[in-house]
């Protein structure tokens, strides 16, 4: 019997979930799908400047899991940029942070789309 899937903690949903080329000359695969956990690792590591260890603690998973998720996310970003594919962020195995857990949230002065409500962090 397989081990049950561990939910990843995500504290910020993307404000925009679709990205793509503006010139409509899409020559690559139609769409690249990035799951929400991959978006969260890009946000925490690249935008917020967290280490993989700190990101793992924030997401409640092992550092090696964060490393794998982050590598998958970077590959999808690169594929979308290089091939001119549409990038969509959707799905995954995650649970949203509770109000009390939102300490790191979406960062200062950014909108956080959390549980169908918009919260502005100041």
Which comes out higher in pLDDT, residue 98 or 79?
Answer: 79
Residue boundaries of the structural domains of the chain: 8-15+28-120
Q: What value does the mean pLDDT take over residues 96-109? A: 60
> For 7-39, how does the pLDDT look when each residue is reduced to its tens digit (9 = 90+)?
888 888 888 888 888 776 655 558 899 999 999
DSSP string covering the chain = -PPPPPPEEE--B-S--EE--SS----S-SEEEE-HHHHHHIIIIIIS---HHHHHHHHTS-HHHHHHHHHHHHHHHHHHHHHT-EEEE---SEEEPPGGGTTSTT-TT-EEEETTEEEE--
Give the residue, 61 or 103, on which the prediction is more confident: 61
Confidence of residue 119 (pLDDT cuts 50, 70, 90): very low
């Amino acid at each position: 019997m397989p081990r049950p899937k561990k939910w990843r903690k995500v504290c910020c949903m993307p404000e925009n979930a679709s990205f793509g080329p503006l010139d409509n000359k899409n020559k690559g695969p139609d769409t690249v799908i990035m799951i929400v956990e991959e978006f969260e690792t890009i946000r925490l590591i690249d935008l917020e400047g967290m280490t993989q260890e700190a990101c793992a603690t924030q997401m409640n998973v092992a550092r090696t899991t964060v490393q794998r998720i982050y590598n998958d996310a970077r590959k999808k970003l690169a594929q979308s940029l290089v091939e001119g594919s549409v990038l969509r962020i959707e799905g995954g195995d995650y649970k949203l942070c509770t109000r009390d857990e939102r300490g790191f949230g979406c960062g200062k002065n950014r909108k956080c789309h959390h549980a169908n409500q918009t919260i502005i962090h100041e």
